[in-house]
Amino acid sequence: MKKRIILMTLIPAMFAAAGILILQAMPAKDKESSREIKPQKARVVEVAAAEQSTVSRRLELSGTVEAYRVARLASPAEGPVENISVREGDRVKAGEKLVLIGRKQGAKALIASLREELKKEKNELRRIRELVASQALAEEELDHAKATYENIKAQLIQARESAGDYTITAPWHGVVSRLEVKEGEFVAPRAVLMEMYDPDSLVIRAAVPERYAVAISPDMRVDIRLDAYPQKSVHGRITRIYPYLDDRMRTRTMEIVPDKPLDLLPGMFARLQMVLEEHDDAIMVPREAIVSTPQGESVFVVREGKAEQRGVETGIEEEKQIQILSGVGAGDKVVVAGNQKLKPGTVVRLAKGEQPEKGNSRNTTEPTAKQKGNAEGGQQ
């Protein structure tokens, strides 16, 4: 009886031990297949295809219409302003009389004063000559008297020559832009009377930031839009570039002339745009695809249902697109949404409505056929 009880107790224990030995002897592959398959959960992302297109780097500036040939006419001597024959906006010809500075009245008084002084010095010279002849005075006194007499005589001659009125004339054909005096005012020498400009010298001046100072060149094409002609866009070219930077603003001045004649006025505001650099067949991706890392910029590309991280070199940014110089080819699907916390090798699933990558149309959340076969074999 006791033997039967002992056997009934040992037999189950022996079967259990045999089962453990069999499981230990099984290959690792069979062990894994016998486990329950837990598929990796896919990360939903949005992608966009890298495309080839033409991209350009543009510079947008503002400018002002200015004349480079300007004259500020001044008075050569003091006197009253007696006649102004022009006003602002008048077109004048070279040599045309513009302003008269009265000089006759003052000159007459000066001439009369110099005549009396010259007569006095003439008598003094005669008296000193007689005293020197009688040896009452030294010869040096006669030399001094002669010098004084000749000086007064020269002043009288100069006063007679400048006794007439001063007439200010136009140095060249132009337009009167500003009057600084009115008739009847008394002006001092070198006082500015008026300003004029040559309408043929009107250009558009713009200040180029130092960053682009060496990127511009003569004859470069420029798109011009003037606020005075809001519905009209014209083309022009750079005609002059100043050879230095403004030491205060750190800008370089350039001058632009429209290709077709326009009715320009000094002070007009202009909006300018020019192409500094242009590339055909550039690889472009949305700006959202770029991910900044400590190692540099990169993008995630969907490949065989997984996220592949690639380091890239970027170029020109245009609107919401950015040029990729290296790291991505045309047609590559780059992740544009859901890429901020994405890791390389993560299984991804395209957002609803997007086409999966060619050759990877199955749902990555389901087990593969091989996994199913292994699972069935493990269950048998």
Phi (first) and psi of residue 165, to 5 degrees: -70, 150
Q: List all residues 6 or more positions away from 223 whose beta carbon is below 8 Å from its beta carbon.
A: 233, 234, 235, 236, 272, 273, 274
> Taking residues 255-262, what's their average pLDDT?
94
Tens-place pLDDT, residues 328-372: 999 999 999 988 888 899 998 887 655 555 443 333 333 433 344
- What DSSP string describes 104-116? HHHHHHHHHHHHH
β pairing state of 296-303 and 221-226? unpaired
Structure tokens at 136: 């009452």
Pairwise CA distance, residues 293 & 312, whole Å: 11
| Pair 270, 259: CB distance under 8 Å | no
Q: Hey, what domains does the chain have and what are their CATH numbers?
A: 43-53+280-374 (2.40.420.20), 60-68+202-279 (2.40.30.170), 74-101+166-197 (2.40.50.100), 104-164 (1.10.287.470)
Strands (E) in 115-191, as ranges, are 166-169, 174-179, 186-187
Helix axes 104-133, 139-161, angle to 10 degrees: 160
Asked if residue 47 lies in contact with residue 354, where contact means CB atoms within 8 angstroms, the answer is: yes
Nearest Cα neighbor of 103 from 82, 73, 74 is 82
Which residue type is seen at 139?
E
pLDDT range class, residue 148, cuts 50, 70, 90: confident
Q: pLDDT, tens digit, for every residue of 99-121?
A: 988 766 556 666 667 777 878 88
Looking at the chain, the whole-number percentage of residues with pLDDT higher than 70 is 77
pLDDT tens digits along 22-57: 555 555 555 454 455 556 678 888 999 999 999 999
